[in-house]
Structure 1
Amino acid sequence: MNRFGQWLCAGFAGAVFFGCCTAAMAEAPYPSKVISMMVPYPAGAASDFTARALNDLIGKELGGQVIVENLGGASGAIAAGKVLAAPADGHFLFQGSPSELILSGLVNKAVRYKPEDFQWIAPVATSPLVVVVSSKLPVHSLDELVELARSRKEAPLTYGSTGPGTLYHLLGELFSRRIGAPATHVPYKGGAPLLQDLLGGQIDFAFMPYQAFYADYARQGRLRVVGALSGKNNLPPPFEAVQSSADSETMKGFDFGIWTSYMVRKGTPRPIAEKLNAAIAASLRNPHARAQLESQAKTVFEPMSLEAGEKFYAAEAARYRELVKSIGYESQ
């Protein structure tokens, strides 16, 4: 074989080898390492409960390990930023709600990401929102809270949220506008520290996702749930008689819930997204997991394809943009 022939054969063999390596890399098994499920608030919050009900099941479905990583701060933007800074390979899964996924980028000038920087994977559940007050506050219904707030214009009631620009903060702003009385916002890094100050009477009230352990605190006389932000009250005992926003003179139509979903960084390969979508859907069919989530009055989503999820997410982003606009909230 002449020199040209030898060079041609060597080049062809190298190309074949390179092509095989590239194909092998493209078809590398997923997951190839531990998956971090990023929860944007400290342990003990409602979002943390959801993650720990599902992470092991999702790991088993994927044939790998999924660990929960709690990273609070900046209204969830720190955890979101960590996911978006990681490779788009599906090994960082973000558990988010409209607060972190959509609102943070709309209301916080320091947040550099947009809702579209995330890629939808699968929904988890929706949670009813309730109005929780300190037991030191002399109110037992939404209408009584409104009346008290209006009587305290010179010394406004205080309300807590999990950070500036979160849904819980914006609901406080919307509440003040609706009733024509001010309320002082007190931000926290997560639901757990907020709840501790509510129990201690350091703040007066908060808009929060319902959690089953509120019942114990209510029976102990340490807090009260005075309102359900929904068209009807579907809360379990002992809150089945709590006034809903639909039954309030002033708060009629003040209906809100909050959904949770799993997201990855945009650009994650479609086969990985499909695999995650299927694993989460299978995990949510687990009777024990469903019972855990439903014990918190959550409504578990039915399985949703990636395409349907992307349409849902786009519609929600548009809805929350309109909410921010209607409040006239200025970016901080």
Structure 2
Amino acid sequence: MKRRSALELLLLSILTLVIPAYADTYPNKPVTLMVPYPPGGLSDVIARKVNQALALELKQPVIIENLGGAGGAIAAQKVLSAPADGYYIFQGSPNELILAPLAMKAVKYKPEDFRLIQQMALAPMAIVARKDFPAKNANEMVAYIQKMAKEGKPVNYASVGNGSFYHLIGEELSKKIGAEMLHVPYKGGGPISQDLLGGQIDLFITPYGAPHVAMEKEGKLRFIAVLSSEPQRLIKHIPSVDENKLLKGFHYTIGSGYYVKKGTPEPIVEALHKALTKVMFDADFVATMAAMGQDPSPALRLDEAGKAYADDIKLYQGIAKSINLQAQ
């Protein structure tokens, strides 16, 4: 018994040395930043700024992997299939982690399978239309959507997938104005922008940035209304949805956050949290976010990040329930 106890103590002492040592050496190889959409969209642009600053903090390359499809669920599942060792970081939002499991029967993970490390930015949102859409503000848009629905030719709107955040608010818009709309799911914002410019898509309710503003100035697309009560910094000339009484209070933003697989060792979580928090204050990152119209998110402690994620789970599951979202 004494020999067994001595052996157990020896193993325990080895473990207590190995775990901190493993964390102290993290990262000792490149880290992958998983982006759940194809290149070209706003998520991809943000990732390509974050990875540069994050690589400097971690002293290892941070490689971007774009993997679109299933509203971001394919990329999320790949992160969960990897070890919980901090070498796969997921750039995402409630869109992929909370709503995708509610919308698709094939998605087997739960929001609680991920842990939020840091919230990086909050994106203002607007209703964007093809350049020749026959409406210039919320009142004209609502009237046109209602007219086309009565004629059996519903206005279409794009999203990044069934059950995505953009799908849900499109359905809520349709519900609020009492008119049918046609949902067209895509794999990411890049392909949507291409079809919006090509005139195949009528509307896209989306976060936006400097590229969208430039395209509006060039006459390639049209902003209809902002999803806030006040004018937004990059497009101060665009009116609020509140101008239409049916859409008053139809206000939304969405954040970009960085997540790891639940069960990632705490010292590694802390190392990533420290690095990402420093990135938030990187001058180049801050300038890029401002130029793209992104609002800075308050830097969260790890316990605050945990609470914020839990609150998001409750909020977005409530929205899904309110429009009777059914998994397909």
TM beyond 0.5 = yes
Alpha-carbon separation, structure 2, partners of 1:263 and 1:138: 41
How far apart, in 1, do the equivalents of 2:292 and 2:158 lie? Answer: 21
Residue in 1 that maps onto 2:187: 189
Residue 208 (structure 1) aligns with: 206
Does the C-alpha gap of structure 1 residues 12 and 242 become closer, same or farther in structure 2, counting only changes over 3 Å?
same
1:121 paired residue number: 117
Could you state the TM-score of these two structures normalised by the residue count of structure 1?
Answer: 0.92
Q: Residue 240 of structure 1 corresponds to which residue in structure 2?
A: 236
Deviation, structure 1 residue 33: 1.6
Secondary structure at 1:213's aligned position in 2?
A: helix
Contact 1:232-1:246 at 8 Å conserved across structures: no
In the alignment, which residue of structure 2 is the partner of 1:52?
48
Question: Are 2:137 and 1:141 aligned?
Answer: yes
Once residues 329 and 317 of structure 1 are traced to their aligned partners in structure 2, the CA distance between those partners, rounded to angstroms, is 15
Distance 1:261 1:216 in 2: 26
Amino acid at match of 2:28: S
In structure 2, the CA distance between the partners of 1:25 and 1:318, relative to structure 1 (3 Å rule), is closer
Deviation at 1:41, TM superposition (A): 0.3
8 Å Cα contact 1:92-1:264 kept in structure 2: yes
Distance 1:305 1:21, change over 3 A: closer
Deviation at 1:147, TM superposition (A): 0.6
Compared CA separation, residues 18 and 118, structure 1 to 2 (3 A): closer
Q: Which deviations, in whole Å up to 9, do the C-alpha atoms of 1:105-158 show, x marking residues without a partner?
A: 122111101110001101110001110001121111121111100000110011
Asked whether 1:24 is paired with 2:18, we answer yes
Unaligned segments of structure 1, at least 5 residues: 1-7
- SS of 1:262's equivalent in the other structure is strand
2:155 corresponds in structure 1 to 157
What is the aligned partner in structure 2 of residue 178 from structure 1? 176
Distance 2:93 2:324 in 1: 21
Task: Give the deviation of 1:23 after TM superposition.
Answer: 2.4
Q: Where do residues 158-307 of structure 1 align in structure 2 (5 Å cutoff)?
A: 158-236=156-234, 239-307=235-303
Q: Distance in 2 between matches of 1:313 and 1:18?
A: 34
Distance 1:21 1:104 in 2: 38
Distance 1:270 1:18, change over 3 A: closer
* Separation in structure 2 between the aligned mates of residue 25 and residue 324 of structure 1, nearest angstrom: 41
Residue 13 of structure 1 and its aligned partner are, at CA, apart by: 9.3
Shift of 1:246: 2.6
Larger radius of gyration: 1
Give RMSD over aligned pairs.
1.9
String of CA shifts for 1:253-273, please: whole Å, max 9, x gaps: 100010110000000011111
Give aligned pairs, total.
Answer: 322
User: What letter is aligned with 1:156?
Assistant: P
Please report how far the alpha carbon of residue 194 of structure 1 lies from its aligned counterpart in structure 2 after TM superposition: 0.6
CA contact (8 A) 1:58 1:280 kept: yes
Q: Which residue is equivalent to 1:4? A: none
Give the SS at the match of 2:173. Answer: helix
